[in-house]
Amino acid sequence: MTFAPRNYEHPARFNNAEWKTRVDLAAMYRIFAYLKWDESIYNHISLRVPGEDNHFLINPFGLHYSEINASNLVKVDLQGNVIGHSDWPINPAGFTFHSAIHDKVDNAHCVMHVHTTATLAVCCLEEGLSYSNFYSAQLWDKVAYHDFEGITLHMDEGQRILDSAGGKPLLMLRNHGPVVMGSTLAQAFSLMWLVNRACEVQMASMSMGTVREIPEDICKKCTAQSLNFDPKFGAGEDVFAAMKRIVEKQDPSFKN
């Protein structure tokens, strides 16, 4: 089944490319709320504005994810300065490491950070993510770790976070939560889906006893065969489109 592209009507202050990006990012915030990945008014998804050097969209600080729409997303530069008009500020703790990643990591056009119970719990484990289930097996050699330094308010931690990531798309902030980097909004979402499901299954299986680790060669094969990393299969675009249809049926106000 194919779906015709939507026509986006938008305020004159936004060009077509930025408006479509705003609508898609607002939809993603609603998807996070639908999946219960939201954290009150905290945590962040940041996304590069197409055609603009070092300008990004991020959530307005003070709004729940279910209140975010295309118009109230905040445009910022790498220093976190608001570009244009915004009725809302941003959370400085949120953009500190996002800006470092966007600035230094090639193709990190989207950065996501959550505190879901499952992912945060695994970040608190000494051994971290266990390669013992279907989902984590697709993340072999994609995961790095960064030691907890407190609330991410200080710009100098950004470089240390980059050093810890070492080019991996998934960084587990120890005692804190995961950070996912994607070349597109949909790809980042597919990675976040994988790590969240992997951690949920790990929590459940570890509560029952010793987990059975998957051999390294099988994990490598699973990651190589995962549709989440293959542009030929949309690299998450089909999943994002499906989830967007769900939240649009529930409440299409994110397009405003």
Per-residue pLDDT tens over the stretch 214-226: 999 999 999 999 9
**C-alpha dist (Å) from residue 58 to 26, 31, 47:** 9, 15, 7
Q: Is residue 8 part of a domain?
A: no
Query: Quick one: which of 234, 236, 118, 242 has its CA closest to 188?
Result: 236
State both tokens at 222: 């699973």
Tell me which residue range forms the domain holding 229: 16-255
Residue 1 lies in a domain: no
Q: What is the pLDDT of residue 95?
A: 81
Query: Is 109 among the domain residues?
Result: yes
Give domain status of residue 67, yes or no. yes
> pTM of this prediction?
0.93
Examine residue 5 and state whether it is found in any structural domain, yes or no.
no
For the chain, the domain total comes to 1
Q: Which residue has the higher pLDDT, 131 or 10?
A: 131
CATH number at residue 188: 3.40.225.10
Q: Residue 10 above 80 pLDDT?
A: no
